[in-house]
């Protein structure tokens, strides 16, 4: 194997390493650090495929490594964060001790999506269902919005156990739903072809600066809605 062929795989392993660190911080309920290392892992995930295409070294091994790394960074971590956050909230009733485990439905949904992605030939230039990295950032932003305490009624809404359970279930569904979403991965340097994702990323950056972690939640929701709107325009 050439050194060039191992560069994308090495970047993928950095994604996995970041995910492992994120899991540790999630287990300790240090949500901000968990978010940082998930975001770092997603950064590496963005570029492993880019360099594989740039160097023309795409491989089946790289595809499998990518999904295994994403499973930790964008599958196990958000499920654990939701479990920890639910467990920290006051709940009553005989089922209260068991309800936090619903958070791991997110992990199950991510696992199913990643396995299905590897065998779905339709998802080459676009996605069907919300990609696991976007879902992970959405989930990890929830406790951070609450801790920021800058958005009173939103924070109050996001500390309702039934809301979090519903979000967990919807999260697993949206990752695997037949919803066409445009890809944010840049495969070449064509500005015309990538105008939509580039414009979306610029707008997202502005929202993140203005709204912080709440901006992450809005960006992910906007990503889903804008993709649906684009698809409706194409059909009409």
What per-residue confidence (pLDDT) applies to 77? 98
Residue 176 — pLDDT band, cuts 50, 70, 90?
very high
pTM score, whole prediction: 0.88
The 10 Å CB-count burial string (b at 16+, else e) for 90-102 is eeeeeeeeebbeb
* Range among 12-16, 178-182, 206-210 with highest mean pLDDT value: 12-16
What per-residue confidence (pLDDT) applies to 139? 98
Q: Is the pLDDT of residue 234 over 70?
A: no
Q: Is the pLDDT of residue 1 over 60?
A: no
What per-residue confidence (pLDDT) applies to 78? 98
Residue 93 — pLDDT band, cuts 50, 70, 90?
confident
Per-residue pLDDT reduced to its tens digit, 48-91: 877 777 777 777 888 889 999 999 999 999 999 999 999 999 99
Distance CA 51, CA 12 (A): 11
| Right CATH for 3-235 from 3.40.50, 1.20.120, 1.10.1060, 1.10.10 | 1.20.120
138 vs 233, which has greater pLDDT?
138
Establish how many alpha carbons lie within 13 A of residue 20's alpha carbon, considering only the half-sphere containing its beta carbon: 8
Q: Which residues contact 171 (CB under 8 A, 6 or more apart)?
A: 78, 105, 106, 109, 130, 135, 138, 139
What mean pLDDT is reported for the chain? 86
151: alpha, beta or left? (left if phi > 0; alpha if psi -120 to 50): beta
Kindly state the average pLDDT of the residues 22-43: 97
What per-residue confidence (pLDDT) applies to 187? 54
Residue 188 — pLDDT band, cuts 50, 70, 90?
low
Q: Domain residue spans in the chain?
A: 3-235
Count of residues for the chain?
236
């Amino acid at each position: 194997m050439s050194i060039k062929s191992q560069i994308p795989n090495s970047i993928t392993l950095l994604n996995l390493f970041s995910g492992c660190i994120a899991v540790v911080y999630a287990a300790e309920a240090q949500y901000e650090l968990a978010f940082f290392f998930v975001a770092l892992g997603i950064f590496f995930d963005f570029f492993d495929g880019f360099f594989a295409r740039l160097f023309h070294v795409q491989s089946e091994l790289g595809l499998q490594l990518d999904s295994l790394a994403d499973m930790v960074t964008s599958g196990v971590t958000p499920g654990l964060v939701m479990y920890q956050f639910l467990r920290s909230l006051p709940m009553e009733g005989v089922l209260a001790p068991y309800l936090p485990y619903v958070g791991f439905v997110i992990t199950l949904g991510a696992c199913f999506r990643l396995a299905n992605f590897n065998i779905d030939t339709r998802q080459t230039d676009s996605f069907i269902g919300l990609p696991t990295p976007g879902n992970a950032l959405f989930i990890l932003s929830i406790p951070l919005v609450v801790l920021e305490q800058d958005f009173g009624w939103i924070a109050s809404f996001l500390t309702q156990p039934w809301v979090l359970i519903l979000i967990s279930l919807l999260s697993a569904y949206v990752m695997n739903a037949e919803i066409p979403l445009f890809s944010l991965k840049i495969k070449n340097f064509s500005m015309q072809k990538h105008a939509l994702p580039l414009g979306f990323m610029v707008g997202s950056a502005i929202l993140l600066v203005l709204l912080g972690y709440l901006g992450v939640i809005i960006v992910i929701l906007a990503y889903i809605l804008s993709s649906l709107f684009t698809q409706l325009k194409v059909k009409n």
